[in-house]
Structure 1
Amino acid sequence: MAAITGPLGKADQKVVAKALQGALVDLIDLSLVAKQAHWNVIGPNFRPLHLQLDELVDIARGHADTIAERAVALGVNPDGRAATVGEATRLAQPEVAWLEDGKVIALFTDILEGVSKRMRERIKATDEPDPVTQDLLIAVAQDIDKQHWMFQAQR
């Protein structure tokens, strides 16, 4: 079977593939961690956090699909398997327990700050090799930054 090839040279493809794979891992795990918190959050702010976490899941899943499809368009195989995400994730993991609303707010403020920082690194890395990918990463960063602000404002 013929491989899918993309428009980038090998060196540029390697840089962009690394950025896309890192973004994919962040986004997949963000959706999983947010859903875990969504199921287990308790406290006076349960309802708004429950809904906000679902919004975050939808955002992360939507961007993950776009990022993975960009990788394929460039001739790169995205890897969103559970084992890969588990090995590569840099996100803090919530406890398997009831999660007090204040702890959820603190956890997601920190998680989103880390994801935002890594997205900015990826944005810089893709500036020269692929401005199209950079543009997608900028869109991800915009939504992550907005979510960070919304969680941080609740502290």
Structure 2
Amino acid sequence: MAAITGPLSGEAKNTVAEALQGALVDLIDLSLVAKQAHWNLIGPHFRSIHLQLDELTDLARTHMDTIAERAVAIGANPDGRSATVARATKLQQPESGWLEDGKVVATITDLLDGVSKRMHERVRTTEEADPVSQDLIISVAQDVDKQHWMFQAMG
């Protein structure tokens, strides 16, 4: 079976593949952390935060598919396996058990801040190597920044 090739090669392909893989890991784990918080949330602001966590999960899942498909399109293999995500994630994991609503807002705000900074760095590293991938990462950064603002406003 022939390997999939794409429009990039050499260092450009490696740079973009690394940026896309990092974005994929961030997005997969963000969806998992948001869902974990969603299931275990308690407190007087349950309803609004519960719904916002669903929105965040949907956003992460939509973007992770787009990012993974772009990796394939450039001839790289996306790796979304649980062991890979567990080994590579930079996201702080929530505590087990019930999660108080104020603590969830603070935790998610911090996580989104970190994801945003990493996405903005990926925007810079893909600028010359592949503007198409950069555009996709810009879209992720835009949505992550919006979610960061929304969670920050709840705190």
TM range (shorter): over 0.9
RMSD: 0.4
In 1, the alpha carbon distance for the partners of 2:11 and 2:149 equals: 36
1:101-135 deviations in whole A, cap 9, x for unaligned? 00000000000000000000000000000000000
4+ runs of 1 displaced by more than 6 Å?
A: none
Alignment partner, residue 60 of structure 2: 60
In 2, the alpha carbon distance for the partners of 1:104 and 1:117 equals: 20
Alignment partner, residue 99 of structure 1: 99
In 1, the alpha carbon distance for the partners of 2:9 and 2:85 equals: 27
For the residue of structure 2 that corresponds to 1:58, the secondary structure is helix
Normalised by the length of structure 1, the TM-score is 0.99
Give the % identical residues. Answer: 73
- The 5-angstrom pairing of residues 1-155 of structure 1 reads 1-155=1-155
The structural deviation recorded for 1:9 is 1.8
Normalised by the length of structure 2, the TM-score is 0.99
Aligned residues: 155
In 1, the alpha carbon distance for the partners of 2:34 and 2:17 equals: 25
The structural deviation recorded for 1:10 is 1.3
Structure 1 alignment gaps of length 5 or more? none
Amino acid at match of 1:10: G
The structural deviation recorded for 1:69 is 0.1
In 2, the alpha carbon distance for the partners of 1:94 and 1:7 equals: 40
In 2, the alpha carbon distance for the partners of 1:33 and 1:42 equals: 15
Amino acid at match of 2:7: P
The structural deviation recorded for 1:99 is 0.3
Amino acid at match of 1:119: M
For the residue of structure 2 that corresponds to 1:153, the secondary structure is helix
Amino acid at match of 1:8: L
